[in-house]
Amino acid sequence: MTRRGSSDDDRAGGVPWQVKFMLLALIWGASFLFIKAALGLLQPLQVGAGRILLGAATTGALAAAARARMPRSWRVWAHLQVTSLLLCTLPFLLFPVGEERVSSALAGIGNAITPVATVLATAALLPHETFSRRKLLAVAGGFVGVVVIMAPWRVTERPDLWGFGATLVAGCCYGLGWTYIKRFLRPEDLPGLALPAAQLLSAAGQITLVTVGWWALQRDSLSAPWSPRPDAATPGMALLALLALGVLGTGLAYALQFDVFRAVGQQVSSTVTYLIPVVAVLLGVLVLGEHLTATEVIGFVIVLASAIVIGLPEPSRRVPS
């Protein structure tokens, strides 16, 4: 993908990338609150499926309005199946699974592992790239922060390990998925909304197959794949949350993410990851009344600091004259 630079937005009369960046942080940070609200009506798989289908419809409409040229190469569509799995299908299922067991604030913290996963994925997929000792130490620090949050030495007041583990795997999927795009799809230089629209379209196909299979196994208890939980309390608010999650937190957010990625590159665009857990924690505490233990706060600070260090530019090396 060609890096366009922020000046292109100004010449085109578009929205500056800085504004899109802040909107992205707010929207994705609020997504964890939306997931928690939607789980009051639907099961995790239904929340993930609804998010993907609504997101695909949104980006598809935006791409059609912009007359974006969709990929035509079967090779590109094959790679899109991988990126769709890593950036959409798996994380959008795992976060609701995790949030059934942990708070939305803690799920947002799990998302902060993405930069650590990105370094490891880059080492595996882009072996020509090297990392400074500072960045490698930050990766180790990120793992230390995760261990502190999980507090295996404590019997009480520690998060559900399965729930928090699901959010960590989801965050790792993001790191691997963006690195995969850099390795296999960047040379294709897909224009405008073509890549996010095609990616969510692929994810919609994947999640539809999964949902139909899931429903076929439970037809005795579920009259339809979208049947709500029997104990659903506030369907109106839950449906609004799912709508916001799909249209804003997926469709619009993915379009914004790819715009920022093209404008300033992966190094800068990936720093939105540092703001997402902060927004998620604030909304979880202020809106949902959630709380974090002292151990979780300490671990969060360690993980966030490690992510910020990873995002710092590498020191330039002087070439002997």
Distance CA(107)–CA(54), nearest Å, equals 22
Express each pLDDT in 165-209 by its tens digit.
999 999 999 999 989 988 898 766 677 788 889 999 999 999 999
- Residue 185 is given by DSSP the state I
H-helix or E-strand containing 107? helix 104-111
Total length of the chain: 321
Distance CA 28, CA 18 (A): 15
Give the closest residue to 16 by CA, choosing from 180, 260, 265: 260
Residue owning tokens 């795992």: 94
Decide: 126 and 179 in contact? Cβ < 8 Å: yes
CA dist 61 → 13, 26, 132, 306, 312 (Å): 21, 23, 43, 38, 36
**Domain spans of the chain, in order of start:** 6-226+233-311
Contact 296, 102 (CB under 8 A): no
Residue 246 contacts residue 50 (beta carbons within 8 Å):
yes
Q: What is the mean pLDDT of each run of 10 residues along the chain (321 residues)?
A: 43 72 93 96 96 96 90 93 97 97 96 90 89 91 94 82 96 92 79 87 97 92 87 83 96 85 70 88 95 94 92 65 47
- Token couple for 53: 């289908």
Cβ(185)–Cβ(125) below 8 Å = no
Q: How wide is the angle at C-alpha 309 spanned by C-alphas 315 and 142, nearest 5°?
A: 135
pTM for the model: 0.89
